[in-house]
Amino acid sequence: MNFNEVFLQISKRQGPGFGAGLCAFSQLLSRLHNPQNSFQIVHVAGTNGKGSVCMLLAHALTCAGKKTGLFVSPHLVNPTERISVDDETISPQDFVRCVQKVFAQEQEKLNFFEILTATCFVYFAEKKCDYVVLETGLGGRKDPTNVCEPRGCIITSVGLDHTQLLGNTIEKIAAEKAGIIKPGVPVWCGPVNAVARTIIEHTATAQKSPAYFVEEGNPFLGKQIDWTRGNWLLEKEEKIYPLHLLGKCQPINACLVWQVARFLGVEETAILKAFETVQIPGRFEIIKTGKNTFILDGAHNPQAINALMDFWQQTPFVKQTVLVCGFNKDKDFYTMLKRLATHFKNIIITRPHSERAVDGKTIQPFLKDGMCWEPDIKAAVRRATSLAPYVLCTGSFYLIGAVRPTLIPQTEASSCRPS
């Protein structure tokens, strides 16, 4: 089978009837000779920010000369984006070969994410990685990635998302995220509310694990933004360091990465090099094409949309931007749309490339003045470019994944900002 056939096959492994569970999944890994024990792991959970933290930490380890595997989800364009070593994604041929190794040891019907998790472990062991930065797929406690014995854990944030699976309160969701904490293994946490902090602290105490709650200023403060180069300018001990990531939460993400990387023995120079050179698609990514500038951000729940709109007020785009957005039905899309609507006169709502996408019938009752429904993404983008020089696309990584390839062939992604 070729790559497309294999990925289509595993993509169908979702829903009732699929899923081995942690115990059986551990047994599968045992039959594969426990590849997850071949490298040191940093395990990362969180409602928002975990993708950025994972990519930045992995890049820092690579800059330090450590062979580093990275497992993240979802992908934007190509499924191979989920698995990479030293910033290079797995080849389609290696993906197929590693999946087939997993299938050869399968005794229960693994689900989609279990297959991907086992595949990444097999690949990283083959590549003889020193470190692997491992992002949870959903929650933490029951997630397939939680079979690992990590060197360190990170919980980036705790908010209401995936409530139908993780629970509809902060307490329940915090308990699921804290489920990645292992005996004696330190955990670093980004800003969380008092309820979530109490639960994480209680879990860490029970596991006899050091818990560190990292705030902005420890050690970096986000002082200002260099829009010309697309950098946050971070201050540490009265010196300024560029971070090539934009967005409200990136300074605190940098603080988390700094703390964990230093714990792992990474030199300061390697971390700072990673800050300046990192490239993360779909996180307040700006792409110039012709007369238009696109801002792509995968904010896909109310907490992320709130952070995006708070940051939006600092940008030079505020008065000349049209919004293209799309959502999934399993998200609180009405709350997201209501918050976005306060900032944009023209809003085009489209349908992301997802089976769970909100459709026209569902969105129709929520349309207000200045909003329109255009199910075809390319048509939505064309319409947007005729209305304003700047176009913000947000609401779903599936939407970003569909829009981005239509822009990149015309021009390379640019970090240049408007004058």
Listed in sequence order, the residues at least 6 apart from 163 whose beta carbon sits closer than 8 Å to its beta carbon are 173
Residue 418 covered by a domain: no
What is the mean pLDDT of the segment spanning 35-53? 97
Residue 416 covered by a domain: no
Residues 258 and 295 in one domain: no
Find the domain containing 361 and state its range: 285-407
Residues 218 and 109 in one domain: yes
Number of domains, the chain: 2
What CATH number is associated with residue 207?
3.40.1190.10
Question: Does residue 260 surpass a pLDDT of 50?
Answer: yes
Residues 83 and 227 in one domain: yes
**Cβ atoms of residues 197 and 213 within 8 Å:** yes
**Cβ atoms of residues 183 and 145 within 8 Å:** no
Residues 77 and 142 in one domain: yes
What CATH number is associated with residue 352?
3.90.190.20
pTM, whole model, 2 decimals? Answer: 0.93
- What pLDDT score does 15 carry? 82
DSSP secondary structure letters along 60-98? HHHHTT--EEEE-S--SS-GGGGEEETTEEPPHHHHHHH
Per-residue pLDDT of 123-162, as tens digits, reads: 999 999 999 999 999 889 999 999 999 999 999 999 876 6
Residue 389 covered by a domain: yes
Residues 248 and 300 in one domain: no
The residue type found at 353 is H
Question: Does residue 417 surpass a pLDDT of 50?
Answer: no
Q: Whole-angstrom Cα distance, residue 354 to residue 340?
A: 21
Length of the chain: 419
- What pLDDT score does 409 carry? 58
CA dihedral 261, 266, 269, 270 (to 10 degrees): -80
Residue 414 covered by a domain: no
Strand partners, 321: 390
Residue 412 covered by a domain: no
Per-residue pLDDT of 5-28, as tens digits, reads: 999 999 999 888 899 999 999 999
Per-residue pLDDT of 365-414, as tens digits, reads: 999 999 999 999 999 999 999 999 999 999 999 999 999 998 975 434 33
List b or e across 197-229, with b for residues whose CB sees 16 or more CB atoms inside 10 angstroms.
bebbeebbeebebebbebebeeebebeebbbee
Residue 17 covered by a domain: yes
Spatial CA neighbour of 376 closest among 340, 395, 403? 403
Domain end (from 277, 301, 321): 277
Listed in sequence order, the residues at least 6 apart from 23 whose beta carbon sits closer than 8 Å to its beta carbon are none
- What pLDDT score does 159 carry? 85
Q: Whole-angstrom Cα distance, residue 30 to residue 33?
A: 5
- What pLDDT score does 23 carry? 95
Residues 264 and 116 in one domain: yes
Question: What percent of the chain shows pLDDT beyond 70?
Answer: 96
Q: Whole-angstrom Cα distance, residue 376 to residue 87?
A: 33
**Terminal Cα distance for the chain, rounded:** 50
Mean pLDDT lowest for which of 37-41, 62-66, 76-80, 398-402?
76-80
Mean pLDDT of the chain: 93
Residues 44 and 193 in one domain: yes
Strand partners, 241: 234
Residues 248 and 143 in one domain: yes
Domain end (from 246, 277, 308): 277
The residue type found at 71 is F
Residues 242 and 355 in one domain: no
Domain end (from 248, 277, 306): 277
Residues 253 and 297 in one domain: no
**Cβ atoms of residues 353 and 401 within 8 Å:** yes
Residues 360 and 383 in one domain: yes
Per-residue pLDDT of 290-318, as tens digits, reads: 899 999 999 999 999 999 999 999 999 98
Question: Does residue 219 surpass a pLDDT of 50?
Answer: yes
- What pLDDT score does 291 carry? 93
Residues 223 and 328 in one domain: no
Listed in sequence order, the residues at least 6 apart from 138 whose beta carbon sits closer than 8 Å to its beta carbon are 113, 162, 165, 166
